[in-house]
Chain A
Amino acid sequence: MTIATRFVPSGLLLLAVVALAVPASASSGWNMTPGVTEISRAIYDLHMLIFWICVAIGVVVFGAMLISIILHRKSRGVTPATFHESTKLEIVWTLVPLGILIGMAVPATSVLVQMYDSGGEDMVVEVRGYQWRWQYKYLDDDLNEQISFFSNLSTPREQILGLSEKGENYLLEVDNPLVIPINRKVRFLLTSNDVIHAWWVPDFALKRDAIPGFINDMWTIVEEPGIYRGQCAELCGIDHGFMPIVVHALPEDEYDAWYAEQLQLARLEEQLMERDWSEAELLARGEEVYSTHCVGCHQADGQGVPPVFPALAGNAMMTGDFDVHMEVVYHGRAGTAMQAFGPVLSPVDMASVMNYQRHAFGKAGASERSEPVKPKDIVTFAAAQ
């Protein structure tokens, strides 16, 4: 019997620990972040309100249970009472919870209505999910003045495999972060290129599914400059855990300067295509592209994960006709995980990666290979589609 007396006390102790620990350490990674937007603070307040209501109900309910367990036990020689119904009580404990729920529903509704007020935005960013990276496109009325880029995990593989020490932002760091201004209403349009992903940054209290073929929207006004991190929140395949989100929120003027610089760089990139690329340059660039876009499925050693992700090493395509290879890379393979890279990679990147793949995995036929494929070949191929 003594063992039983400890039963509910231990439970209540647990509850008390939670109750004390949660507010005391709001910023130390135990609790939801209050975040940096009006909405995120409203959600945090809502979360804490519901939490404390639950704690209060818990104290009453578990308290009654505890008292009963302590007092109404056979070892104290009590004889059981015989009452077994009370319509009055049943009505009370139907109506009281109903009232409490209405008390929760009112603030919840007002926050939700506020979140759905998505008009009047200052700028629009398209967020597109890919297995397993994000693409950000800054939508502008002038279609020639749009910038877009991919954002990939930048944590080195050695850290994941435990071969080197893990950095401070392990798995929460990317090569190209999303950059947005503070104090402006940024509207996000979400979609996906393959499977369902979900874009989530806790500090903004934004989470929405990116669904292939559909467009979702949400918005935020960030109030403090800073670096904010999040992750994909919908299982999207093997590397679901490895497609983080990093957002740099900049003061307005810094953001404008950044945006102007990006436009400049985009123009330079176009000129790259006109250049004559040496094979060594293409291979070096191709290795980077491969490690960003291909390695998730086909693996660093080109062995893939057959049969879902075929091996490239020893694959006849690596030594065969360029056009067949290009066809697959450009259009993907319908009905498989191989996506169409035509809209994803620039001609320079596509030419680079194809050369790299043939160099790295098609060694047998390397000597028979003619000229490396050049960015211009890709442009010609694309024009013919």
Chain B
Amino acid sequence: MSAVIDAHHDDHHHGPAKGITRWLYTTNHKDIGSMYLWFSFIMFLAGGVMALVIRAELFQPGQSFVEPHFFNQMTTMHGLVMVFGAIMPAFVGLANWMLPMMVGAPDMALPRMNNLSFWILPFASLMLISTLFMEGGGPDFGWTMYAPLSTTYAPDSVTFMIFAIHLLGASSIMGAINIIATILNMRAPGMTLMKMPMFVWTWLITAYLLIAVMPVLAGAVTMMLFDIHFGTSCFDAAGGGDPVLFQHIFWFFGHPEVYIMILPAFGIVSHVIPAFSRKRLFGYDSMVYATSSIAFLSFIVWAHHMFTVGMPLAGQLFFMYATMLIAVPTGVKVFNWISTMWQGSMTFETPMLFALAFVFLFTVGGFSGVMLAIAPADYQYHDTYFVVAHFHYVLVSGALFSIFCAVYYWLPKWTGFMYSEALGKLHFWLSFIGVNLAFFPMHFSGLAGMPRRIPDYALQFANFNAWSTVGAFVFGLSQLLFLYLVIKCIRGGQKATAGVWDGAEGLEWTVPSPAPYHTFSTPPVVK
């Protein structure tokens, strides 16, 4: 018995290892969380550069900057890099940092797998991006990889993309297993499920979604691989296959995937809005149930991405109704956030600004989502810039803004220093203006008839596109300010207190700032 206690005692003095091995061998959730976040930021910049190449080409009609073939590679890689490289790893990074501290656990349940699931990412992403330099160019068929454009007609580099997706998927699944194991097994005594912080709840549900659908994506790309190299005809009608089958499988993954990228965001703003309203989250129970409903519904709406493939009437109606239903639990969440603000005592530090912008702009994206759900009208919206506007409103001013929100909210806890509020606000306003300038005009160009994924366009779309490009550059460049702000905050500044924000609640605020290398070696008791 005493030996056990001694060993524990020795552990207590273990700080981080020195040098590069700290990062290569680490099993510490905070180190791994930081690596995830830095990795995702690098990928965000890479995907952002690709977006700016796209916007530069579309600044005015005519082929001015890149060739159509390279343009298609940019649209494809921008999507893949942002989804699998930037947004998803950023949320996993936040989960790594915060979940153990929020549930009062000393670390993630499976620390070595944690290390593995991170270290797969840089190599997988490198392989993905390296396709751009291969003979014949990188994948050029859109991130949705519709067969047979992505099989029979694809460049050779598609094989590397498939393996990269397999690896990224494996990493996500390991991350999800770890998160579920941590949440279900390592909560502090007294923390029942219905006492868990919302970020924990939303990540628990997200992790189940990940485990459910990443293998489906792996299956889809494996079938592509077999069609390309081993003579099968899964997606080739000439051999008895069906190109539309690919879309069904892809979107059976793809729709839950969009909720994988937004549920953790719901969790984050459910912390930040109460903290800066100095008032408890309104309707905690209904938030949990709404999140679960959204997760369930996400599995039965996939074909609303495919209203134009020629489904039977009954199919169209089912997917239209099911999709419209999602507005109900989503609405509940928005109403609850606003009721949380109602009669609170609000202040407007940077995290709160991002949270409010999230509620506002995500709801705008939700409105266009309801419009897109209306199957007859979708015949006009489908595959136009209206769709591009919609999903950038929910993914950029939704998911990405919530990540910024989370970083500002927890940065003092991570670094021990307050970030510069003035710079933070400047970053917010530039991002807010940039996002709206970039993506709002896309509603108009889409309604006016501009298809997506075209490298050149008719003259009547010129003004909208020029504005979008200006907005995209404002937004893109202002992210360098964010980088500067974060580095500045890591290097020093005003000391942060343990509580940091006067309205913030939760176990993570009971440990000192910066959070020690090991926290909650002894579990706290939650009443």
Contacts and interface: CB of A to CB of B under 8 A. Distances in A.
With most chain B CB atoms within 10 A of its CB, the pick from A79, A213, A232 is: A213
A57 B367 contact: yes
B136 to A, nearest CB: 5
B123 interface: no
A249 B458 CA distance: 21
B501 interface: no
A307 interface: yes
Contact of A166 (B61, B140, B237): B61
Contacts of B425: 3
Contacts of B334: 61
Contacts of A83: 282, 343
B148 A8 contact: no
Interface stretch (A29-37, A283-291, A373-381): A29-37
Interface string A13-35: 01100100000000001111100
Contact of A50 (B68, B148, B374): B374
Nearest to A231: B451
Interface string A176-220: 000000000000000000111010101001111101111011000
A213 B458 contact: no
B72 A235 contact: yes
A343 B338 CA distance: 63
Contact of B63 (A42, A62, A68, A161): A161
Contacts, number: 307
With most chain A CB atoms within 10 A of its CB, the pick from B146, B310, B340 is: B310
Interface stretch (A91-99, A274-282, A316-324): A91-99
A85 B284 contact: yes
A80 interface: yes
Interface stretch (B206-214, B252-260, B322-330, B510-518): B322-330
B244 A235 contact: no
A235 B455 CA distance: 11
A94 B336 CA distance: 11
Contact of B345 (A80, A90, A306): A80
Contacts of B148: 194-196, 212
A121 interface: no
Nearest to A213: B237
A378 B412 CA distance: 77
A74 B376 contact: no
Interface stretch (A143-151, A239-247, A253-261, A349-357): A239-247
A234 B236 CA distance: 18
A78 interface: yes
Interface in B432-460: 436, 440, 443-444, 447-449, 451-460
Contacts of A265: none
Given A231-B451, A238-B69, A89 B339 contact: yes
Contacts of A64: 338, 342
A111 interface: yes
B67 to A, nearest CB: 8
A271 interface: no
B344 A241 contact: no
A289 to B, nearest CB: 22
B379 interface: yes
Interface in B296-337: 308-310, 313, 316-317, 320-321, 324-325, 327-328, 331-332, 334-335
A207 B382 contact: yes
A359 B149 CA distance: 32
A307 B309 CA distance: 31
A97 B325 CA distance: 9
B246 to A, nearest CB: 10
A14 B310 CA distance: 37
A68 B62 contact: no
Contact of A213 (B243, B339, B364, B444): B243
Nearest to B134: A307
Contact of B284 (A46, A69, A84, A209): A84
Contacts of A18: 440, 443
A171 interface: yes
A331 interface: no
Interface residues of A, number: 106
A236 to B, nearest CB: 6
Contacts of B382: 198, 207, 233
B459 A235 contact: no
A316 B309 CA distance: 42
A172 interface: yes
Given A8-B356, A207-B382, A241 B455 contact: yes
A60 to B, nearest CB: 10
B357 interface: yes
Contacts of B283: 84-86, 89-90
A81 B364 CA distance: 28
Nearest to B503: A80
Nearest to B285: A85
Interface stretch (A102-110, A133-141, A361-369): A102-110
Interface stretch (B19-27, B152-160, B478-486, B488-496): B152-160
B456 A160 contact: yes
B310 A82 contact: no
A89 to B, nearest CB: 7
Nearest to B366: A54
Given A236-B149, A239-B68, A74 B451 contact: no
B192 interface: no
Contacts of B457: 171, 241
Contacts of A79: 345
Given A43-B377, A85-B282, A72 B346 contact: yes
B131 to A, nearest CB: 13
Interface stretch (B40-48, B98-106, B272-280): B272-280
A18 B443 CA distance: 10
Contact of B448 (A30, A82, A307): A30
Interface string A62-80: 1011001100111100111
A11 interface: yes
Nearest to A195: B149
Contacts of B452: 235
Contacts of A384: none
A262 B317 CA distance: 41
Contacts of A200: 383, 451
Given A108-B374, A205-B376, 7 more contacts: A46-B377, A72-B342, A86-B283, A166-B62, A235-B146, A306-B136, A336-B152
User: Shortest 8 CB-CB distances between A and B: which pairs?
Assistant: A213-B237, A241-B454, A4-B348, A216-B310, A81-B343, A84-B280, A54-B367, A111-B376
Interface of A: 1, 3-4, 7-8, 11, 14-15, 18, 29-33, 42-43, 46-47, 50-51, 54, 57-58, 61-62, 64-65, 68-69, 72-75, 78-86, 89-90, 93-94, 97-98, 101, 104-105, 108-109, 111-113, 115-116, 131, 159-162, 166, 168-172, 194-196, 198, 200, 202, 205-209, 211-214, 216-217, 230-242, 305-308, 335-337
